[in-house]
Each structure stands twice: as structure tokens, then as C-alpha cells.
Amino acid sequence: MHIRPTDADERRAIEPVICYPVEGLPQRDLPLYENARATAMKVSETLVPARDARCFKVPVGHFFRISCPEGSQVGDLNLWSAHDLTERFYSGKTRALHRTHITTGDSMWSSFPTLRPMATITTDTLGWYGIDAFGGSVHDVIGTRCDPYTGNLLSSTQYHHCCHSNLTRALADHLNVSLQEAEPYIHDVLNVFMCTGFTRDMGQYFMKASPVRQGDYLEFFAEIDLLGALSACPGGDCSTIHSSDEAQCHPLLVEVFKPKSASLKGWEPPQPNGYDGSHGR
């Protein structure tokens, strides 16, 4: 242990600086989206079984809703450009640009070099939750996804219904490719409905029972053509355990809605990031 410096309290008392001021972010037109949603009609739905995953497509300018049709359940969401799987959801940059847990008005941003909004949250029935006394909140972009590799590392388990495994199988089935070909495309997730945070004493990542109830939902506007994959986590509401067949689990429902084209008049999909990397090479 190093000796505590005499100015330790002064160093700790330095005020923080926000890394990415939100004033510089392109603002999404939520009133326009709300108006378009009012005219939208459901065009498809995908039921995601408990402890399993399914892929779904969302055309640009459509809405999609993730809901709990039966009971409290969290899910792990991956998003890709429907035309290029290398453009995928970038959870770390989304966290840096918005917050550790995202809600209405926040976007899911894509990976480099495109770095553009893929989908924007337009309705969050759990938006009331805020941050609780433990520092917990919902819809996190700080966790990764439950996976068999970490389970094997920590407890020598060989569990095959982790969200990573579920998402890999779903994408492989959708693309009609092997698991080995699909797995590299699986990426860090939006933990839909999951209630998480960091402990105050040790800064450890924690989970607690999700506040989600039957009928709650999270709804998005698709800024680009999307391919999505959603896993109904084997931890159920993540109140006690995940990556296990012991937790009570429920299915999740993904519904896609198409608005009238006139309701989006003047709106244009976001273009890939305009940074010209040639000057830095």
C-alpha cells in the first residue's frame, strides 16, 4: 500500500467534467415520431420463447415494440444494419453519449465508421423508475450478456442457454450459416428491462429484480433498416440468478408497426458519420 498523500481530500474533491456534452448531439424529432406512431399499423410480430432467442427485421421508418406478454422478464437485444452486419450496435459509445441506462429520447448508436443512430427509444413504460437508492436503473448498456465462457471461467459450468448462446443460434438460423460463422457478429447488448448498477463500496456490477410487469414495453423508431435478435434471458427477472434453468422465465414479444408515409414527410434517415479518416492516416 502506498502512503496516503497529504492532499488526498483535495484530489478527490475535484469536480468532474462531462466527457460528451449532449448539446452537441443531433437531436431526434420526438414529436414527429409520436405523430407517425399514431398512424402506425402492426405488420408483424415475433414471439421469443423463454430461455431462447429469435431474429426479426424492422424496415427503416417503422416502429418496433418489445413487451412482456405474460410476466416479468428481461431480454438481451442485438441490432445490425440489415444490409451490413459489420454495422452493429455499439453499447460502449451509446453509454458514453447518453448514460448507463437509456430511456425515451436516447438512441442506440452504431459502430465505427458509421457511428449513427440505429434506433431511438420513443416510449418507455418504465421511465418512471429513475435511479433507486442502490444506484440501480433499467435498460442498461453497461453489462455485456450472460455467456458460457464466463460461466465456465467462474464455476466450470457448461450451460448452453446463456443469452450469448441463444443469440448465436438465432442469428445462425436466420442467416443459414454455422454457429462458428455467426458467433463473431454477436455483440454487447442493450439489457432490456434489466435493473442493474454498481455497488457503492466496491463498484461491482449488480442486478436486482426487474420492475417490469406484464404489459410493460419499450418502443423504438428504426432510423435505418434493421436486423435484430432478442434473447429472453435465462435469469427471468434477474432477481436471484441468471444463466440457469432454476429461474422462472417468460417469453418476450416483438411487434413491428408501419406508419403512414405522409406522417414522416421531411424526415431522412441519418447518414453514416462524416469523419474523413484519410487525413489521419
In a domain, 234, yes or no: yes
Chain centre to alpha carbon of residue 36: 23
Overall domain count for the chain: 1
Enclosing domain of residue 167: 28-260
pLDDT of residue 26: 86
Does residue 13 fall inside a structural domain? no
Inside any domain, residue 1: no
Query: Per the domain annotation, does 96 fall within a domain?
Result: yes
- Give, in degrees to the nearest 5, the angle at Cα 73 between 197 and 232: 100
Is residue 216 in some structural domain?
A: yes
Dihedral (CA of 63, 161, 168, 92) sign: positive
Is the model's pTM score more than 0.75? yes
Alpha-carbon dihedral sign for residues 192, 193, 199, 200: positive
In a domain, 270, yes or no: no
- Residue 4 counted as domain residue: no
Rounded to the nearest integer, the mean pLDDT of the chain is 95
What is the tens place of the pLDDT at every residue in 186-228? 999 999 999 999 999 999 999 999 999 999 999 999 999 999 9
pLDDT digits (tens, 9 = 90+) for 56-80: 999 999 999 999 999 999 999 999 9
> Do you know the residue count of the chain?
281
Query: Would you say residue 281 lies in a domain?
Result: no
